[in-house]
Structure 1
Amino acid sequence: METIDRIKNEAYILFAENGYAGTSMRDIANKVGIKAASIYSHYKSKEDLFIDLFKDCISEYDIGVSLNDDHIDIPLEEKMLELLRVQVLFLEENPHLLKFLARIIFFPPVELKDKLQSIIEDNLNITNMKNYYEIYDVLKKDKKIKNEITIDRFISTFDMCIIRYFIGKIGLNYYKEQETIESLFNSYWEEMQS
């Protein structure tokens, strides 16, 4: 494995475990087994390394949660359920990515917050967002969702299903039992419908 790949792998783990502020270039170098100065031949700063990892993470997530061609002609409700299922299963199969993203979403480095937001806006897969917008437009046109539901609410409430699913898995579950993907989706769908 190339040195840069080892740097990225160890940095990914340390940033996920300790956060941006809690991880130093020296910590990363120690894990890789090199001197901290060696990292600077690949990255000019800890910020650059973190930003590069974040872009990789966004790209990996977007590719991993894309629907395939089998889902083009299925009913919209089924397509939304499949979008939820694909995202949850991808995150379950990639716990490192889940932990890294969760830390950034819930505890973003204050000094990088605007940059991270800009990266999200610039790098999110247009196709995945297009799925949401197309589904939303058809549902709105066909009056299958409440009139007051905005696109932001449509997407953010959907995203909360993913968060609720993983809250149910961490052990500090304030729900009586682990909710299934289907039960979460059904709650979401009931809230959206007219």
Structure 2
Amino acid sequence: MTARDLHLSLQAGAAVPCNLNWRIEDGYLRVCSWSEHGEACTFGLWGPGDLVIPSLIAVAPLQLLALSSARVEEAEPEPEEREAFLLAQSVQTATLLQLSRTRPAESRLFQLLLWIGERFGRVNSRGVSLSFDDMNLTHRHLAEISGLTRVTVTKAISHFRQQGYLRKEGPDELLLREALPQLQRPSRGAQT
């Protein structure tokens, strides 16, 4: 792959041109679109080292946004990189679609945080650590990615903290995997 001369330094929220391919040097990008009612729909999250090829994402309108401050360089992908991107984008889209159907809302948000932590954070025996600050994961961003309201996200995160499922450890947040079964609703046939 040959890099071109175009390098961009972006602030959080800045749009990245979708007519070019980008290698992320630092920061995080979000691929999204909007419904006819103006609701955001996220199709993927990409981080340092990732190659993003907007022309291969069959969604219109499409927008590539800097989730955090980011540095990107224009790139010309090799055929195998195009295939790898298509596969990775398909997996992300399927994961986000599956998460959108998860109930209750707290479970959806918890599973989303686990997925983001496994993708961009550090995995250990207790759970995943990730930095909300480094990724600029505001409650509004989490609401848009998960399809929940900001108020629901804020309440759920407060509940996770109160229950000890989400703990501050230095600059990162530790999300405990053991909490997930407790957040699931009992099955319809379960006796109470």
Same topology, TM > 0.5: no
Rg (Cα) greater in structure: 1
Higher strand share: 2
| TM-score with structure 2 setting the length | 0.32
Higher helix share: 1
| TM-score with structure 1 setting the length | 0.31
